[in-house]
Amino acid sequence: SVLTRDEVELPPPAIDNRLTVHPLWPEIDRISTEQIQAAFEGVGGEIGWQLFAEEGDMRMYRREMEVDGMVMDPLKAMHKVRGVSAREMCHYFFNPRYRYEWETTLETMTIVEEMSSDALVFHQTFKRIWPASQRDALFWSHVRASDSNTYAVTNHSTTNAEYPANTGACIRLFVTVCLACRSTWPAGEQPTRDNITTSIAYCSTVNPGGWAPAGVLRAVYKREYPKFLKRFTGYVVDQCKGKQLAL
Ligand code: 18C
């Protein structure tokens, strides 16, 4: 059968060989492995995680953390989405073609490097939040399968001589994000759009990189993270409607 454009570009089921010879590979492999493992660990017994948003199956927790007066609260969110697979979720999160359609904090996005089919480097600028300076970020993004039902995207800040930090209007922020997804369906059945459920764990730590008023920052967190996760998952469900389930 003829493959559609989407099917060709779905996250590969195994690591792309081109990535494993890239100078960043050891770092990408180590951080992705750590992040994916941490994402699937619960927040239940852990001290310090406080629930700050809850809606339907979505739960968001944060841990208050300040380093030299700068807010760096780690965030952890759990969600369950019916009718889409882990691979589809990660496809829409990783592939830059869709990013402006769901990412509302974005001002500009540039692909700095295409390392392989499963790893890219991005430069992004974000909308300015008054009264702080505008922020930008430079990060690698890697999508991988852990097994046939589990896919994850990890984003982590990096450097590039052609994109130096803090030279223009923007302050460089530092980010570590992981979107880890696992699909399940009733035992003994074939997976379909009607019986598949994907559990999502989204973890994020953003270091604002320079002064930002703590109160404003925490208010932005509280508003923007739930908005992002609801909008992104809704977007993926809409995009997948009428398309064949991709496992
Ligand atoms: O993970 C997400 N998106 C990925 C693809 O873009 C990628 C992005 C990571 C960057 C996250 C940092 C975003 C900072 C945005 C600041 C400006 C927001 C403006 C909003 C106003 C309309 O991994 C989804 C990311 C969802 C982001 C939620 C917001 C997080 C807020 C963190 C604030 C820290 C910035 C400090 C700026 C100073 C503000 C006083």
The per-residue pLDDT for range 86-109, each reduced to its tens digit, is 999 999 999 999 999 999 999 999
User: How is residue 149 annotated by DSSP?
Assistant: T
Residue nearest to atom 6 of ligand 1 (CA): 103
Tell me whether residue 230 is exposed, middle or buried, using C-beta atoms within 10 angstroms of its C-beta: 0 to 12, 13 to 18, 19 or more. middle
Q: Does residue 177's CB lie within 6 angstroms of at least one atom of ligand 1?
A: yes
Q: Give the residue from 23, 225, 238 showing the smallest Cα distance to 121.
A: 23
Average pLDDT over all residues of the chain = 94
How many whole angstroms separate alpha carbon 89 and alpha carbon 167? 35
Structure tokens that stand for 93 in this block: 């999160």
> 5-240 domain in CATH 3.30.70.260?
no
The residues, any chain, with a CB within 8 Å of residue 214's CB and separated by 6 or more, are 66, 69, 70, 71
> Could you tell me how far CA 210 lies from the centroid of its own chain?
23
Q: Which atom of ligand 1 is nearest to the CA of 109?
A: 6
pLDDT band for position 68 (cuts 50, 70, 90): confident
Q: Is 135 in the pocket of ligand 1 (CB under 6 A)?
A: yes
Q: At 197, which helix (H) or strand (E)?
A: strand 197-207
Give dist(CA 40, CA 36) in Å, integer.
Answer: 7
- Nearest Cα to Cα of residue 177 among 147, 139, 210, 211: 139
pLDDT band at 2 (very low <50, low <70, confident <90, very high): low
Closest-lying ligand 1 atom to the alpha carbon of residue 212: 40
Backbone angles phi, psi at 219, to 5 degrees: -70, -35
Q: Is the CB of 120 under 6 A from ligand 1?
A: no
Supply the residue whose CA is at minimum distance from atom 18 of ligand 1.
105
CA distance 124 to 170: 11
Could you count the other beta carbons within 10 Å of the beta carbon of residue 91? 25
Q: Which amino acid is at 237?
A: V
Whether 233 lines ligand 1, by a CB cut-off of 6 Å, is no
Three-state DSSP state, 186: coil
Amino acid at 182: R
Model confidence band, residue 127 (pLDDT cutoffs 50, 70, 90):
very high
The token duo for 119 is: 């790893």
- Of the candidate ranges 30-44, 117-131, 223-237, the one whose mean pLDDT is the lowest: 30-44
Distance 61 CA to ligand 1 centre (A): 16
Which ipTM score applies to this complex? 0.95
| Beta carbon of 137 within 6 Å of any ligand 1 atom | yes
What is residue 8's predicted lDDT score, i.e. its pLDDT? 62
Contact 198, 86 (CB under 8 A): yes
Q: Where are the domains of the chain?
A: 5-240
Q: What percent of the chain has pLDDT over 90?
A: 87
Residue 71 in contact with ligand 1 by CB distance below 6 A:
no
3-state secondary structure at position 40: helix
What's the token pair of residue 155?
């984003």
Residue 41, pLDDT above cutoff 90: no
Each residue's pLDDT tens digit, 139-168:
999 999 998 899 999 999 999 999 999 999
